[in-house]
Chain A
């Protein structure tokens, strides 16, 4: 619909990062993990609808924490053109979810 190119490689990266985050996350079911699973569902669907031709690699080996994965995914999503909104109806929801998750994780880390 829009002339803005779809960031397929970045979408695939977000998909991988959130998959990694879910693997690293504790099994406790709380609001953060619920948000994380919702974000993962959105990223999964986006990656399926807009596949990349480049084979997916592993996320950065330095991303060994849930917060690191979420922050990297948030940077990726925030780099996407807002004009993609018409083609990606869940774009704003994904941005909101990742921001919420990051804020909660940072607050939890500060509390120790």
Chain B
């Protein structure tokens, strides 16, 4: 099922004279839609799904102001191959184990967003793409259960992408700063709660931390 995608990814890296697209970000937006189509065919897509986070990050990257169109190899072949995968996945019965398809999709998305990030000269757009890449990297290597925190952070990222075109406006900067402050406070409260409930392991005391200057080592006493 993934063989045509593998072929297209390989040609993307090796083709000496590939057909060029006039705007990489426009092409990449289409590719992300193809990735999302597969993800939807696999099952319901929560806000903090890594491919959904990639879509949010892409929205942020495309909304960066004054980014010139980027000439790059076309992603049309990849899009076509991904569209075929979406059709196959969608046609499968619902009781099929979707874990393998999800793993493959995440890895394909990771490779693609990395490729796009490398081709992108603008630092702000690259930072957004890096966020999407990190979300996929985390899902591949440290898969975690959904939580209110992850859902909240996904919503926050969506909000940041939405205000990206006007992020320099004073009212937006102030609101974003207040939002970050609230997130830090919530994180601290969550951490303290987990610590109080004994859900976090206390750090192992080191010899230097158990012996202070004012209380000499008892073994030295006569």
Contacts and interface: CB of A to CB of B under 8 A. Distances in A.
A86 B2 contact: no
A38 to B, nearest CB: 13
Interface string A78-112: 10011101100111110110011011000000000
B38 interface: no
A23 to B, nearest CB: 25
B114 interface: yes
Interface stretch (B105-113, B122-130, B167-175, B187-195): B105-113
Nearest to A2: B100
Given A81-B3, A81-B6, A99-B13, A92 B111 contact: yes
A35 B137 CA distance: 16
**Taking chain A's interface residues, is the majority helix, strand, or loop, or is none over half, making it mixed?**
helix
B12 to A, nearest CB: 9
A78 B2 CA distance: 12
B114 to A, nearest CB: 5
Interface size grouping (class) on chain B: 20 to 34
Contact of B111 (A2, A74, A81, A96): A96
B100 A82 contact: no
B219 interface: no
Interface in B171-209: none
B37 interface: no
B2 A82 contact: yes
B118 interface: yes
Most buried by A among B9, B106, B107: B107
Contacts of B108: 82, 85, 92
A1 interface: yes
Interface of A: 1-2, 74, 78, 81-83, 85-86, 89-93, 95-96, 99-100, 102-103
